[in-house]
Amino acid sequence: MNPNGPYPGRQLFIGTTMSGNPAAAYLVTGRSPSSRGRKAIITDNGIMIGPIDNQQYDPLRHYIAIKYDNTSGNLVVSNGIQTESIFETYRLLFNVGSAPSKEFMEMLLNGAQAEPDNFHTPRIAGVITNGNDKKPINYIGIIRHDMLAKAFQVETNPGTLLGISTYKGSLENPEPFDLANGLVEIDFNGKTPIELAEHLFEISKAVYDGEDIRVCALGAIRSADRHTWQVAVRNR
């Protein structure tokens, strides 16, 4: 079962595999036909969420969910248009030799604000970057409509990923993720991105109004060379 309850909305995780490789995962769920009418598409340097047919582009539903760079080893995962700005900011910090910090993510999320929908859906994001000692530095952040953005530095044990979601789990009454309860956690014993995507997809099965709410799950794992990312998707 998903540790965030039956309806996390959009959800991301960051951590490491059992072998200590940096890893990220992302889940999309939807209660409405339009929300479920999407799929994950692998691109040259990431994964985007797009329509399954000729639907008109919608910036709240169609976006780059994962973007990575095999030169710096950076990766960003998020639920919206903030992905690219966060990615470019942390890549710039890496390229000029400046130390990363969670404050950059908070600033960018505050600028993006919560989504302008009926639920004031929070924007969430995660980044995996490198410090001067080449060790991964991970941040997870969220912006809700009722508070300023908050980001956390994330450290996990091998085989564990920590995550955050847009909602706190109720199928009938979606409410913003509750920071008071802390980040949620999943265990992962696999080795490949598709195993990670499948694992997140399988533990997130839930039904609303007779329909499976799962849309897709994404997995990303960085190789032992500290730079190269491999990604995979599991569509409904």
Domain 10-235 class, CATH top level: alpha beta
Q: What is the H or E stretch that residue 83 is in?
A: helix 82-95
Per-residue pLDDT tens digits for 115-145: 999 999 999 999 999 876 678 899 999 999 9
pTM over 0.85: yes
Residue ranges per domain, the chain?
10-235
pLDDT at 133: 62
Identify residue 53 by its one-letter amino acid code.
Answer: D
Q: What Cα–Cα distance (Å) separates residue 28 from each residue in 6, 11, 66, 142, 182?
A: 12, 7, 12, 16, 21
Residues 6 or more apart whose Cβ sits within 8 Å of residue 118: none
pLDDT at 138: 97
Per-residue pLDDT tens digits for 31-44: 999 899 999 999 99
Mean pLDDT of the chain: 95
Per-residue pLDDT tens digits for 203-233: 999 999 999 999 999 999 999 777 899 999 9
Rounded-to-integer distance, Cα 65 and Cα 114, Å: 16
Average pLDDT over residues 96-120: 95
Per-residue pLDDT tens digits for 60-94: 889 999 999 999 999 999 999 999 999 999 999 99
Per-residue pLDDT tens digits for 170-197: 999 999 999 998 999 999 999 999 999 9
* Residue corresponding to tokens 């799929």: 39
